[in-house]
Amino acid sequence: MEIEAPRRRSDDTRAAILRAARDRFAAEGYERATIRLIAREADIDPSMVMRYYGNKAGLFAAAAEFDLRMPDVSYAPREHVGVILVRHFLDVWEDDEAFTALLRVGVTNPAGAEKMRGIFRDQLRPLAESLNPDPEEADKRLAFVASQMLGMALSRYVLRLPPAVDLTRDEIVRWLAPTIQGYLTGEAPPSPPPEDAGDDGALPARTE
């Protein structure tokens, strides 16, 4: 299924640009990763970026092309999907900084956020639907899964909260897998007690 690409003489340059772009987008976010900076890191002229990728948005689109390679969990024991998925996501994050880049950019840039929603829609949703017949409920459950996994990625790889950085891979799997498993296949939790019981009702206020 490989497309016979006409090997161009500029392929090295293109690849260098893409590598530098991923690196800078991941480290700096969209706005601060300037074309000049990326070009300098790739050791080429800034105008080359324009020639090969049109404009900055095009460069980002190319750099953030990203496949989660979600495993097919429909053949795995249903009670193992939590462990499988958490491990898989850890692999993805640590193997490829494109995801960190995407996360960073998605937070500040509308195009990045849209790309993120696209990944959710096209790569994550099918998996959830393979586990749950009702598509609406699958979506809901998947939202919680995404929140937990994205939150760990955010804490650990972007914000670098010290205790999240210090966690070992095994600790993360141990604690997160049951959560993910519950979100995907557990029964819906019961309604909590009504709002006014227990909580002190205090609204947060600014320090001044």
- Which of 65, 74, 122, 126: binder of its own copies (CB under 8 A)? 65
* Structure token digits, residue 1: 């299924």
* Structure token digits, residue 48: 């080359």
| DSSP-assigned letters across all residues of 42-99 | HTS-HHHHHHHHSSHHHHHHHHT--------GGGS-GGGHHHHHHHHHHHHHHH-THH
**Is residue 38 near its own copies by the rule CB under 8 A?**
no
Which single residue is written with the structure tokens 């996501």?
89
**Is residue 167 near its own copies by the rule CB under 8 A?**
yes
Stretch that binds its own copies, among 6-14, 36-44, 47-55, 62-70 (CB under 8 A): 62-70
**Is residue 133 near its own copies by the rule CB under 8 A?**
no
**CB of 48: closest distance to DNA in angstroms?**
5
**Is residue 190 near its own copies by the rule CB under 8 A?**
yes
**Is residue 44 near its own copies by the rule CB under 8 A?**
no
Instruction: For its own copies, give the closer residue by CB, 9 or 162.
Output: 162
Are 44 and 13 contacting, i.e. CB atoms less than 8 angstroms apart? Answer: yes
